[in-house]
Amino acid sequence: MMTTTRATSFALGGRRHHVLNTTNKTRNNKNNYNKNKRGGLRCFAKAAAAKTTTQKKEDVPKNLERLRISTPWEDAQTVLKSEFKTSEEDLKTFGELTKEELENAYEMMQLCRDFENECNQSYMGGKIRGFMHLDNGQESIPALLANSIRKSDLKHSYYRDHCHAIACGVDAGKVMAELYGKDGGTCRGTGGSMHIYDVENNFQGGWALVSEQLPYAVGAARSIVLDKFLGKEGMEDERIAIVFVGEGGAQNGRMAECLNAAAKENLPILFLVIDNGRAINTFTKDVAQNQSVFEQGKHYGVPGVLVDGQDVTDVLKVGKAAINHVRTKGPAILQVHTFRFNGHSPADPEHERNRKDEKRWARKECDPITIFEQSAHAQGLDLQALTKKAKDEVKRALDFADASPPPPPSLAAELEYPDPNGQVDYSQREPEMGLAKAQETTKKIVDPNT
C-alpha cells in the first residue's frame, strides 16, 4: 500500500470542492468516499492528516476531525452557472472586487474581532452578564453583510448576533450598551446579548432558541411579496429577507418547512448557514446524517452553494452571486464553512473531544484576517490605518456603553403594558371601541346564540 500527499477534489452531490489531504491509493478509496458522501462533509475523516497550501503536514494535530476546505472562485462559478443559472456577465461582475470593497471587508473583520474581544473582557469584568456568544473566527460573514445587504432588507439572526447587527448598520455603541444592560442599548438594556433589535435598520432580532428565527424570516419574506402586490409606497425595490442558522440548527424540522414555503411562493429569502461544525458543543457530524445543508433545497428546487468562510474574498464573490439570485429570482441557500475560535459561551469549559486542539490549530492556520493579510488582495491596502479605524470605533462603543445610564424602573411597567397613550394598566383603560361595544363583542364570543 502506497501513501501520497496531494490535493484531492470531491464532488459532493454534483458540486465540486477541494480538500487538501493525505490519501491512501488503495482499492478501498471508492468505498471510503461513498461513506464520506453519506455524511456530507465527512470527507474530513479522522484518519486524514490534512493541510492547506501554506501549512506543513506536521502542523496538523492527528486527532482533528474537521479541517479547512477550499472553494476557489473558479470552481464556484461552475456551481453558480449550473444550479443558480448565473450568467457569464454576472459572474464576471461578482468576481471583480474593488479596492474599496476589500478595504471595507478588512475593516469590518477587524471591527468585529476587536468588538468581540472587548465583549469577552467586559464579561470577565462583570459588566456583561447572562448568556453571551462570540463570533471570533467567522468574520467573513459580517464582511459579506456590510458589502451586499441593504438597509431595507429584513434580517433575522440567531443568538451569536453582535457582529451581524453591526455589519447591517446598527450602531456599535448601542449594541455594546445593550450587552451592558444600559438604557442606551438597542432594546434599552432589556434584551441583552441574544436579542439585538433595531427597527431603523430592519434588524429583526437575534433569537435565543435554536432555529426559532426561520419561520419568522420566511414570514418576513412573504410580507415583502405582499407589500409589492398591494403596491405599498416605497416597497418597489428588490428587498430580501436573510436568515442566519447554524448547520446544526438546520437539521431542525423548521428548515424543511421553511424551504417548502419559500419554494412554493418563490419568496425572496437567503438561508445563510453558518457551518462551524458544532451544534453548541456537539460535533454536528455525530448527530447529522448529512451536513451538506446547501443541498437541502434540492427537493424543493432551491439552489445552494458551499464556500470556504476563511477566505473572505471567496465569501464576497459567492455571497454576492447568491444574494443577487434572491433579489432577482427566488430563494437560495449559502453555506459558509468556518471555525469558531471560542467556546459556545464564556462559561463553556470546552471539554468535548479535541475541541481545544482544534481551536488552537484553527486560530493559527484558519484565521480569516491573517489569511487575507497574507494574500495578494491585501497588497496596496493600508491595513494599519484600517485596523486603527476599527479599534477607534470599538473604543467609542465602549465609552458610549459606559456612559449610558441604566434603564429606569418605570420601563418594566411600560414594557409589560405597552400603550401608545402612556397608560400602563390595562385594567384602568377604557377600550378604544368603548366599553359597551367591547361588552357586546365579548358576549357574542362567549354566547354566540344570543
Whole-number pLDDT of residue 333: 97
Q: Beta strand pairing status for 282-283 and 2-12? A: unpaired
d(C-alpha 433, C-alpha 445), whole Å: 16
The whole-model pTM stands at 0.79
Handedness of CA 106, 350, 289, 132 (dihedral sign): negative
Distances (CA, A) of 66 to 18, 276, 407: 14, 9, 44
d(C-alpha 405, C-alpha 350), whole Å: 35
Cell of 450: 344570543
Whole-number pLDDT of residue 136: 81
The mean pLDDT values, 10 residues at a time, for the chain of 450 residues are 35 39 38 39 33 51 87 95 96 96 97 90 85 86 95 90 90 92 88 84 81 89 89 78 90 91 96 88 82 94 96 97 96 95 71 78 92 96 97 96 92 73 64 81 78
d(C-alpha 176, C-alpha 193), whole Å: 9
Nearest to 163 by CA among 123, 135, 121, 203: 135
Neighbouring C-alpha atoms within 13 Å toward the C-beta of 71: 31
